[in-house]
Chain A
């Protein structure tokens, strides 16, 4: 069934006028293959009272970007909850390596100042300072992050000053992130705040240039379920030096050296494009939009990377690895493809996965009929070209923009980072997404829907109307979908499976999706003593 504006209008009838007017702007139906993407409203306030999927700036800063840095202790400055909920709940895996020994890994800890009423009344600065001292004494970490929660800004604690003093006392970086949950309109504000601080405080502070060849950093990859490790495996086989995955399994030690990159790869554009752009400005480092989700997408990305370096050996090895991996995974993938083929899905999560997973689903013969992001901006739907036209509103204004200039000693033109001539670089830039992201729109088929900041009511209505075979969502929507009789997989946490990236990941994903579709209980919902009419009664409602 294709959807028309009429369906959308019908769905919105119960909405109060203001809500209807607002929500209409967040929903786009693709009208024709060639049509340019109509403007979608995104990154604007969630309507009070609406059951949204969105989280807060703290979640985006601490939970997403900062928390995974394994050799820094992250202190949540606030009452207990915020730190507690972001403890061990995101599956950003970490392990020790030659730069970070096991005793310097803190990702399994939850450290919170656990503010009490007296701290709210008299301020929490002293408590924070004391906690930093104790954390240093107990763990002697390489650095400390302090993430603010909602009350902090309000009571006026000066975290920056506390951090600065602590830095002087202990001689390690202590970084304050003013990521109070009410800033911006979603997690997205927190990504930006985290990016700014990493750029200002850590990136560029390393002093030993990397001497290896083809040094790349993978930005916006959080190593959920070990995705980053699977990507690293392929890239290392081809001959790249993967210096660091940011921020999954990353360390302060590695992030320091980010400016020695030959090329930055951007997986999740939403959460990390600020660093990619700022590095381009400050160091001239080029960035390439990549996607390691999906077999064909991975192959395309590997070829794009080889194109960037324009090195015969790298190009040869790229094809060797592709061929080897394809030969290995194709039979397994085929088995699951038979089950998945022709099925439809919804995907609404995050700020990039709803796009990336469409490639992997197409590999399996599945199609996404409704896709949306939780906290994306217009460029994630419409492509980066629209950025200059995005208006800043009151909510985005309170996130600082860093205005960087080229670093006098370290700035190099992008082509020099890749060892290319200017002409070569320009030719290549026309072929691959260097410094560019096209957004989700191009991959959507005609009649399919993009919906921004989808809420519970809309999700439920669309499931009822369009009857997808599977819903990809976060944990909060998963069981709603199940109760509606539709299998669901979590795309944030992979239902504790994974990796889903790269070649091995594609097979694991295909298996998990097939399992969800065919688990026998789906056929047993109607008890034998009730009349079977083939259809679930709620789908007729």
Chain B
């Protein structure tokens, strides 16, 4: 037998291709995953998937692989009967069993394609369920045939506000609500640190720090000591301001807070990169009349220093960026700050706002020869790259097939990253995040240069 190896994605032909329906190598996944992630950002919360158990198994698996942490979530475990007659009985039984066996403070239910297609009315079923004194059940509708996991995250954030946030009608507290978006727990920690350095009191939700970056100690906790506390989320209705970071993931919850509790919101980008971090700090400074501390000034100065000292490692290099919309928007801004050329920019999540925002940023620096697409997949990206390559890929694990097939280095940023570790703990937000991104991008390009240089061009100092 002649045994060969697969040449990576050799099956994709080098000819013009019509790819107009469905997705081939998607750059998004389904809503419930995002809803489950958001729910894990509440202290002592058990996310619950109302549908067949397969979805829940898959979502837990994907989150577990990215974070390398336990992800507990339950399912209504539909069988064919429930699919025909509706899942009310399954949900009621689930709620009873969950409180008795797993004893969470709160259950956050999300739907799946199946329960959405059946049309189960969750608000009503929850109202009819037995919920022990002092416990809460909230829900969000997350039909996966709309949007993406980011939409699901956004819907659950909104659900959290709609069930929990309350305004007691008195004067607002001198405190900021922060909705940090679909970021890693390390990022949430860094955002909190910045807000604390600014001397502003805050409520951050959902806060997956402590839950999905929990320490291994001598004591096992089914609900690790992390996440936003329910009473703090309740009280968010009494805060003076909400900063929603990332419009796709966080704006919906912020608008509802405004509508429901009269807390004004300022939409910001995810604080990835220098300008977006500046914007977060300015927003806090202006709203709360605080001074920017020396410590943050030093951090910012270090970023500028590094950018100037290392620009020759990456300036003018072309990049293809792919991932979730809020991440990609902020990242693109930073790549422009670095003097790089984001040539292809895609997200799997649908939404024309993405393309608009990216084109505005590109126009500002006079870049026109780029391609931008929302609701795209990685086959789209690969075909563009084959037409005209780039120097670097920045995105998630699934880009590794393109990286290998087209021989382009990949810097892993975003969700999911299944094939590298530690990233969920290492922030890419804030000024420190800038340094991490610069380091990753520079090093990756320099590794490539070292690898590809001839012996006579191989140098010690770069």
Contact = CB atoms under 8 A, between A and B. Distances in A.
B216 interface: yes
Contacts of B59: 81, 85
A117 B143 contact: yes
Interface string A57-71: 111000000000000
Contacts of B144: 79-81
A38 B79 CA distance: 27
A82 B144 CA distance: 10
B15 to A, nearest CB: 9
B113 A150 contact: yes
Contacts of A47: 77, 93, 97
B95 A49 contact: yes
Interface stretch (A127-135, A267-275, A280-288, A331-339): A127-135
Nearest to A524: B216
A538 B114 contact: no
A89 interface: yes
Interface in A125-173: 127, 130-131, 134, 137-139, 149-151, 153-155
B58 A59 contact: yes
State the majority secondary structure of interface residues on B: loop
Interface residues on A, range: 35 or more
B216 A181 contact: no
Contacts of B222: 460
Contacts of B61: 85, 89, 474-476
B102 A81 contact: no
Contacts of B70: 476, 479-480, 483
B63 to A, nearest CB: 9
B97 A50 contact: yes
A113 B144 CA distance: 13
Most chain A CB within a 10 A radius of its CB, from B82, B94, B220: B220
A80 B4 contact: no
Contacts of A56: 52-55, 57
B71 interface: yes
A88 B8 CA distance: 13
B3 A97 contact: yes
Given A52-B75, A475-B65, A525-B217, A134 B20 contact: yes
Contacts of A484: 220
Interface in B45-104: 48, 51-55, 57-62, 64-65, 68-83, 90-91, 93-98, 100-102
Interface stretch (A13-21, A196-204, A354-362, A414-422): A13-21
A184 B7 CA distance: 38
Contacts of B112: 150
Interface centre among B6, B12, B62 (most CB of A within 10 A): B6
A94 interface: yes
A14 B93 CA distance: 15
A470 interface: no
Given A50-B74, A483-B70, A15 B101 contact: yes
Best-buried of B11, B51, B91, B96 by chain A (most CB within 10 Å) = B11
Contacts of A80: 23, 26, 28-30, 144, 148
B218 A537 contact: yes
Contact of A57 (B9, B28, B54): B54
A161 to B, nearest CB: 18
Nearest to A14: B101
Contact of A138 (B13, B28, B114, B146): B13
B57 A476 contact: yes
Contacts of B96: 16, 49
B75 A59 contact: no
A51 B72 contact: yes
Contacts of A103: 10-11, 13
Which of B55, B74, B96 has the most CB atoms of chain A within a 10 A radius of its CB? B55
Contact of A395 (B4, B10, B80): B80
A452 to B, nearest CB: 15
Given A48-B77, A56-B57, A57-B54, A19 B101 contact: yes
B216 A483 contact: yes
Given A19-B101, A109-B25, A475-B65, A96 B4 contact: yes
A185 B83 CA distance: 13
A537 B77 contact: no
Given A56-B57, A108-B6, A127-B21, A476 B71 contact: yes
Contacts of B426: none
A97 B28 contact: no
B26 A150 contact: no
B22 interface: yes
A465 B24 CA distance: 47
Given A49-B74, A78-B113, A54 B53 contact: yes
Contacts of A117: 143, 145-146
B10 A538 contact: no
Contacts of A88: 398
Contacts of B310: none
B331 to A, nearest CB: 22
B2 interface: yes
B207 to A, nearest CB: 19
A81 B32 contact: yes
Interface in A72-116: 75, 78-89, 94-98, 101-116
A182 B93 contact: no
Given A80-B144, A81-B29, A110-B24, A538 B218 contact: yes
B93 A49 contact: yes
B1 interface: yes
Contacts of A86: 58
A357 B95 CA distance: 37
A479 B83 contact: no
Interface in B199-226: 214, 216-222
Interface in A463-521: 474-476, 478-480, 482-485
Nearest to A186: B53
B366 to A, nearest CB: 35
B7 A151 contact: no
Contacts of A525: 216-218
Most buried by B among A47, A51, A109: A51
Contacts of A206: none
B118 interface: yes
Contacts of A154: 83, 114, 117-118
A137 B101 contact: no
Contacts of B68: 479
A48 B91 contact: yes
Given A59-B58, A526-B218, A79 B145 contact: yes
Nearest to B97: A49
A180 B118 CA distance: 14
Contacts of A95: 3-6
Contact of A394 (B9, B53, B81, B100): B81
B19 interface: yes
A55 interface: yes
A85 B29 contact: yes
A115 B145 contact: yes
A396 to B, nearest CB: 11
Contact of B51 (A87, A150, A537): A150
Contacts of A182: 52, 78-80, 82-83, 114
B288 interface: no
21 contacts: A48-B97, A49-B76, A49-B96, A51-B102, A54-B57, A56-B53, A59-B54, A59-B57, A85-B58, A95-B6, A105-B11, A114-B26, A138-B19, A139-B12, A150-B114, A151-B113, A181-B114, A394-B80, A457-B102, A485-B216, A525-B216
Interface of A: 14-16, 19, 45-59, 75, 78-89, 94-98, 101-117, 119-120, 127, 130-131, 134, 137-139, 149-151, 153-155, 180-186, 394-395, 398, 456-457, 460, 474-476, 478-480, 482-485, 525-526, 530, 536-538
Given A476-B70, A536-B219, 8 more contacts: A51-B74, A81-B59, A89-B61, A89-B418, A94-B6, A105-B11, A113-B21, A485-B218
Question: Which 8 residue pairs of A and B lie closest in terms of their CB atoms, listed nearest first?
Answer: A56-B54, A81-B30, A49-B94, A49-B97, A85-B58, A96-B4, A79-B144, A150-B114
